[in-house]
Structure formats: structure tokens, C-alpha cells
Structure 1
């Protein structure tokens, strides 16, 4: 069998690999891209891109409901069929378009790659080697291993639903579960969220978690905490979920219990590549335990959040490293994250819950409801929390209608260690917005 060789083999075409693919397209490197799923990966097809697209309709609907009796007499109503038709028209062509873009510069193989040994990958009966093999297969949704698991659906399924079920049960209260629960509830579904513990998003403060849950409850979303799903069965009126507490009648079950590294098809047992349940282990140059094989994106086992910008950052770094533009170890920037629920929650830097008893830190909590901007939206929840170490801002979090955009105002201050005096001298933000108040919030 002929062995075709490349400079780089990219296994996967999600944000991390796509970033590298586009950068390598500007070089003379011979590159092979292997993809067995949708070109572009989860983010543009079933994740952040369609989610934020749909939020564009969800947010004004929920804000109009929030303003009922405060300037609006007739709140908006979300029409699921037309919303999904618009969404599918936009996103259905994306995988083919992404494939065409990659194919213009590189060789491609439509199929799942598996390792034969530490130097060779196989796909569709063909064998390939490269100076650098880059694993960028991302993560895939978990499916609970319980009786009736055939009735479980993932976010991939829900984000393509043309008809909205009347009753939807969400198992899991992480980012995906809460965001999709917000979406379908806004469209009129009766939503129940099953939470295995006593809290939702643990990345945020307990106060922010509780405020989010209360806001969702006020819109009719039900929560069942400390609940384990035991089985799902067909019922005369739909589906029946049996838990350790009760039984829940529903029409549709979304499994949002998290994601796991997409490594099952790679046949890593044929290699010396080390991995754990969080993903493939890499060093500070993103190289695996096998020389010449690297991993980037969500498939990596790392402490940084598994987010699209982080994956793209790694793609850029590895390109720079492999092409001799840097020999430094990877150094991650300050990483912000948000849940696009309603209200949103967002954060960056030090979590105030983790430094409560440390006298080196000071926490300042600022209710935003008194501002004309937030009061005009009848936003009574918005609260900003800032963490200072001495005079320097080191952390920020918020719950509110525009928390993600608000927290972005504080990222440069945290990451560049800007002082209050420097900020006030250099920046005069648009008034009246939260950014306009940043200067006076800093020491």
C-alpha cells in the first residue's frame, strides 16, 4: 500500500483546526484535513453560532415580557416554526461551504481517522503520515446510560426541531441545558430542568446562580434539584421519566449532562498517546506524549474552559510554534465566559467565592438597577461584582440582561493590569452605558 505523506495532518475541522487550516493555506505546506462529522465542527453547526443567532429573537421577546406594564402593553411572542426555518436556511449550508473552503487549499478525506501506530493514521482504507499530526476532534454530547436512553436527545437534535413539543424536560443544568431551556421556554414549551446537585452553574457565584434560577422560575420553568434520572419509558400521554424522587410526564427529553472528549474512533490504544476522561494530555507546546503528534481545542485535557476562542487561540499558537514564529510555551490570556440565558451570567478572572476568607482581596458588589439604562428595561436583577487585590482589579462577574457585553468592559483592565488612574486618563466611554461608570468603580 502506498503511503502518502504530508507536512501536517489535521484530524477534525472545528474552530481550532479551521484556524490552523486557514493559516496553513497561506504557506507552501502540504496539508490533509480529515473530517468524519460536519465540517466546521460543533460551534458553527450545533453550538455557539446557532445559539447566539436564536438568542437574537429570544432576548427581545423576554425583554418585552419584562416590560409588560412598564411601557409595553403587548409583549412579543416567539414563533418556533418561522424561527427554526430562518435558522435552518442560514446554517444548513455551512458544513458544505466550510468543506469547499478547506478543499481549495488542502487535500481532504471525508471519514473518521484512526491511528495504526505512532506515525500513521488510516481513513477510508488509506494510510497517511506527516511531520506533524494534529488531533482536533473536540467533544461530543454525553448520553446517559439508563433504561430508555433511546428517548434521549442532544442539542444537535433540539437545534434542528421543526415542531416544538409541548412539554420538554432538560437533564442537566450546565451552560447548554440552561441556554436551551431558556430558548424553548420562551417559545412556549413547558420546561422542567432536572439537576443532579443542589446548584446550577458552579463557575459563577452562588448568589448569581440563585438569582438566575429564581428569574427562570418566575417565567414558569421548573427545577428539580438533587435529582437522579433513573429511566425513561413510553407513557400513554408521551414519555415518563422516573427519578429518585418522583415521575415526570413529558414529550421530549434533552440530555444536557455534559460532553466528553471525542476520541473513541481514534484507536489511541495503538499509540503511546496519554489521555484521561477530560481528554488528551499535552505539554506546554500542545504536544502529546508522542513526538510529532499534537492536540488542540476541546479534545485537550486542561484546566482552561473549553470554549471556541480558546480553541482558536491554540490553533494560532500551534501554527506559530510549528512554523518557527515562536518557541515559547503557550500562555493563555484572561478568559471570560458567559451563559446566554435570560438574564445572562458572565465572569472573568478571580471568582469571589474562592477568596472569601483571604484578606488580600476585597469584593465590591454593585446593584445596577438604579441606573436609568437598566431601570428603563425594568431590569431589577442586574448586579455587578468586582474583585480587587490591593488597588488592582483581578476579577469581575455579573448577572443581568447584558452581562456578557458588560464584563467585556473589564477584561483589558484585568489582563493588562491597568490602574484606575490610567483608565480614567486614557478612556472616556459613551454615556450613559455601564462602560461610562467603569472609571469611577476603579480605585
Structure 2
């Protein structure tokens, strides 16, 4: 039985970052991947999504400006766009495997624990002094009759032809983004929302505003609605609903959430604590088993499941295990966004969480549409800033065409705890861009 200093399960952003750092330490490393090398983000997640988003944003902005300096709105050619996307991304898993293979032993297969130090894969056994679980998450499976007809986000991001009508089950960021994409390409889109809210972790005023703007473009939302059965009708599908009604559609997307990839690991064989939320870890990213750690989306931590967070955890764990760092993990200011149209973005304190605590926080909303930048885009942008008692900016939320980049401007202000006068004394941003839109906020 071959023994390694490290056995790493998974090759997504958390594992990949950890592997890159660990490769400098001359350790013996075994990497096991059961799916696409590189994980969700570069293959069927954020990277191909943002690639498609470029054309989607351009087309929708041109439509908004039609008759206001643009004579004819751009028309998307989805099939052509998808060909270009596949040309860029198809080779990535093999290239990632090759890169990892330069410094590690690599096995393709589904691994499971035999005991606290032993992993089995492809009927072979390996021991690791330390085992890192970074198997990520996958789309949540719906247990309804006809579930075999459902597609997931991976399918949409490789869809060659746009369906005439697409139905999304769920209203998280995946549904809102991909619904925006297909609608921009010509699909009629319906989104089924289990409750009364979309994007529950975002500022609800702006989430509701996004729904209204999407509805104005013809996207339909059905709230308090659940799919109970799916049946095939010729070349279409009937989605039966909990309201004694149904709808006929061409394509059904399960966007009901994501679940940790833990079932095949046989965690109980190593006596690792876990739940439906993921693998339990402490503030050192250690499981209840001394030599086993977990990083990335597979953990049950109450932090956003983002590529940036996964990579931050990987850097922390490397410094902890190889550089002697003893402090528990301390997360920085985290920015997150929804690449719909318009975009939603936020960092730091969500205004909803402190709306009743006016003794310690001040919430101020700024209208951005009067700036020349947004006036030229015919945009109705809104930015909400949360100030604490000491007048530090501790949270921002925005809805606008460029909300993601705008909020990124605030992330260092929040994370570094820089006073407003200090910022202006040391920074002169480009004008007339964000500086024009938020004139006075930092003064």
C-alpha cells in the first residue's frame, strides 16, 4: 500500500489552490478526482457563465438604448456563441489534469474512506498522513415523478439550441442568471419560486427590484409554486404544480440549490462528523478527526460558497499545516454578485440584517441614475451603504448594470477599515466613472 504525505480528494478551486501551494514543499501528494478536473467553476460554473455573460450584457444594453443613440438592438446568435464557448473550455479539464500531474500522483475515480488514514479508489488502497476533502457541491436532486426529464446548470451552459420556452425550478443566483441568458437569446422563460422571495441572501429591496425589471422584459415569475410532477407530451413537457395547475414547456431546469458531494465518501468509516449541510469543521478547517481536513463548498460552514472563499480557505490551510500558522481562520470582507441584468452585488453587512438597529447603524440609499455614466446607459442604479456608529462603511449593496465592479471598489474600504478622510487623502479614482456616481459618499 503506497503512503503519501497528503491525499487530496477533488480538484476544484479549493483543492487546486492548495495543490499549487503544496507543490513548493516537496511533499508526496496523491490527488483523486471523480469528475471534471478543475471542478465546477472553470468547467460548468462561473468561468463559462461569465464568458456567455459578455454577449448577454451587450445585447440587453443595446436593446435598452434602442432609439436613444442605438438604431437597432443587437440580436444574439446563441448557437454561434456556444460554439465559441466550447472552443475555449472543452480542453480545460485535460489541461488541468496535466498541470496537477506534474507535481502529484493523479487518479481518476470515486474515492471512499476505509479508515481514518486509508482511502480506496478503483479497488486500490492508499494511506495519507493528512487527508484533505475538497469534493465541492453538485446540483440538488429533486425527488418528484419525472425527475429524469430535468436539466441542471451544467446542461444549460452547454445548450446548443435555445428552447422556445424554458422553465426554472428555484430562484437562487443560478436560476436568475441562466434565466437572464436564455431570455436574452430569445426563450420565453418562467421561474417557479417556492416561497415569496428570490435571492434570499441579498438585500431584499434590490432582489424585488430585479424581479420587477426581469418581468418588464417578459420573464414570468410564479411565487409560492412548486413542481410536483413532470410528464412528457410529444416533444414538450408538462410541469404539474402544487396549485392544481400545470404549464407546458420545452425545457425544465432544476435550479433548486446545491448539495455537498459526500455520499460516496463513506465518511462514517473514518468517523467524520457531517450533516446534510456538509462536513463539519472547526475554525482551523479540521474535522473531528485529527488528520482530516475539509475546504471549499463541501463544508457546513456558514460562509458564502464562492470560488474566492474556497481559495482563501486553501491558502489558510496551507499556512496552517506547512508554515505553522496557529490562529483560527478569520474571513475578510467578502463581495458577491449576481450576473443578471441588471446585476446585484453586495459586500459586508446586508442592510436587512441591521434595519431595526438604528442605534448602531445608519442605512443610506444613493440614487445613481443622475450621473452622466448611467444617464448614457439609461440606467436606474441604486446603491445602499451601511455605516456604523464610528461612521465606517461596513456594508454596501447595489443594483445596476455595473454593480459587481462598483461593489468591488468598496471591498477594500470595508475590509481594511479605512476612514473616509483617509481614503480621499490617498486615493484619486478615475473620473467620471464610479467617482462620478457616488460623489459625496466617501467625503
TM-score, scaled relative to structure 2 = 0.98
Give the alignment's Cα RMSD to 1 decimal.
1.0
User: What's the CA shift for 1:325?
Assistant: 4.1
User: What's the CA shift for 1:236?
Assistant: 3.7
User: What's the CA shift for 1:360?
Assistant: 1.2
Instruction: Write the distance in 2 (CA, Å) between the matches of 1:76 and 1:262.
Output: 41
Equivalent residue number for residue 307 of structure 1: 306
1:70-98: per-residue Cα shift (whole Å, max 9, x none)? 11110001111100000011111000000
Instruction: Write the distance in 2 (CA, Å) between the matches of 1:372 and 1:413.
Output: 24
Instruction: Write the distance in 2 (CA, Å) between the matches of 1:330 and 1:147.
Output: 43
Structure 1 window deviating more from structure 2 (392-401 vs 432-441): it is: 432-441
Instruction: Write the distance in 2 (CA, Å) between the matches of 1:85 and 1:337.
Output: 29
Equivalent residue number for residue 255 of structure 1: 254
1:260-286: per-residue Cα shift (whole Å, max 9, x none)? 000011011212100111100011111
Gaps of 5+ in 2: none
- The 3-state SS of whatever aligns with 2:328 is coil
- The 3-state SS of whatever aligns with 2:25 is coil
Equivalent residue number for residue 415 of structure 1: 415
1:296 aligns with 2:295: yes
- The 3-state SS of whatever aligns with 1:213 is helix
Equivalent residue number for residue 316 of structure 1: 315
Matched positions, count: 440
Structure 1 window deviating more from structure 2 (339-348 vs 156-165): it is: 156-165
Structure 1 window deviating more from structure 2 (318-327 vs 404-413): it is: 318-327
After TM superposition, the structure 1 = structure 2 runs for residues 18-417 of structure 1, keeping only pairs within 5 Å, are 18-236=16-234, 238-245=236-243, 246-358=245-357, 359-380=359-380, 382-390=381-389, 391-417=391-417
User: What's the CA shift for 1:332?
Assistant: 0.8
TM-score, scaled relative to structure 1 = 0.98
Instruction: Write the distance in 2 (CA, Å) between the matches of 1:145 and 1:415.
Output: 42
Instruction: Write the distance in 1 (CA, Å) between the matches of 2:239 and 2:71.
Output: 39
Equivalent residue number for residue 424 of structure 1: 424
Residues 13, 310 of structure 2: 8 Å contact kept: yes
Instruction: Write the distance in 2 (CA, Å) between the matches of 1:410 and 1:436.
Output: 15
- Structure 1 runs, 4 residues or longer, greater than 4 Å off: 436-439
Instruction: Write the distance in 2 (CA, Å) between the matches of 1:280 and 1:406.
Output: 34
Instruction: Write the distance in 2 (CA, Å) between the matches of 1:22 and 1:206.
Output: 39
Residues 368, 437 of structure 2: 8 Å contact kept: no
User: What's the CA shift for 1:237?
Assistant: 5.4
Residues 429, 436 of structure 1: 8 Å contact kept: no
User: What's the CA shift for 1:209?
Assistant: 1.1
Residues 82, 160 of structure 2: 8 Å contact kept: yes
Instruction: Write the distance in 2 (CA, Å) between the matches of 1:88 and 1:138.
Output: 23
User: What's the CA shift for 1:202?
Assistant: 1.3
1:135-162: per-residue Cα shift (whole Å, max 9, x none)? 0000010121000000001111111111
Instruction: Write the distance in 2 (CA, Å) between the matches of 1:325 and 1:134.
Output: 17
1:191-234: per-residue Cα shift (whole Å, max 9, x none)? 00000011101112221011100111111111100001100001
Residues 424, 439 of structure 1: 8 Å contact kept: no
User: What's the CA shift for 1:181?
Assistant: 0.3
Residues 192, 221 of structure 1: 8 Å contact kept: yes
